[in-house]
Amino acid sequence: MPDINFQDRGAGSPVILLHGFPMNSAVWNGFAADLSKDFRVLTPDLPGFGGSQLLETPFSLDEVGQNLYGWILENHLENSVLIGHSLGGYIALAMVERNPEKYSGLGLFHSTAYADSMERKQSRTKVLDFIDTNGVLAFTSNFIPPLFSNARHPDIDKVRAMAVQSSTETVKGYTIAMRERPDRTAVLEKFSKPVLFISGEKDGGIPPETIFEQASRTQKPEVHILEKTAHMGMFENFVGTTNIVKAFLKKCFA
Domain residue limits, the chain: 6-252
Q: Which amino acid is at 52?
A: S
39 touches 4 (CB < 8 A) = no
Q: What is the pLDDT along the chain (254 residues), one digit of tens a residue?
A: 668 999 999 999 999 999 999 999 999 999 999 999 999 999 999 999 999 999 999 999 999 999 999 999 999 998 999 999 999 999 999 999 999 999 999 999 999 999 999 999 999 999 999 999 999 999 999 999 999 999 999 999 999 999 999 999 999 999 999 999 999 999 999 999 999 999 999 999 999 999 999 999 999 999 999 999 999 999 999 999 999 999 999 999 99
Q: Is the peptide bond before 44 cis (omega within 30 degrees of 0)?
A: no
> 98 pairs with which residues across the strands?
none
Q: Are 183 and 114 in contact (CB under 8 A)?
A: yes
Q: Which of 76, 103, 114 is nearest to 199 (CA)?
A: 114
Q: How high is the pLDDT of residue 38? A: 97
Query: Which of 35, 63, 26 minimizes the C-alpha distance to 173?
Result: 63
This prediction has a pTM of 0.98
Question: Can you give the pLDDT at residue 133?
Answer: 98
Fold that domain 6-252 belongs to in CATH: Rossmann fold (3.40.50)
What's the pLDDT score for residue 142?
96
In the DSSP assignment, the letter for residue 94 is H
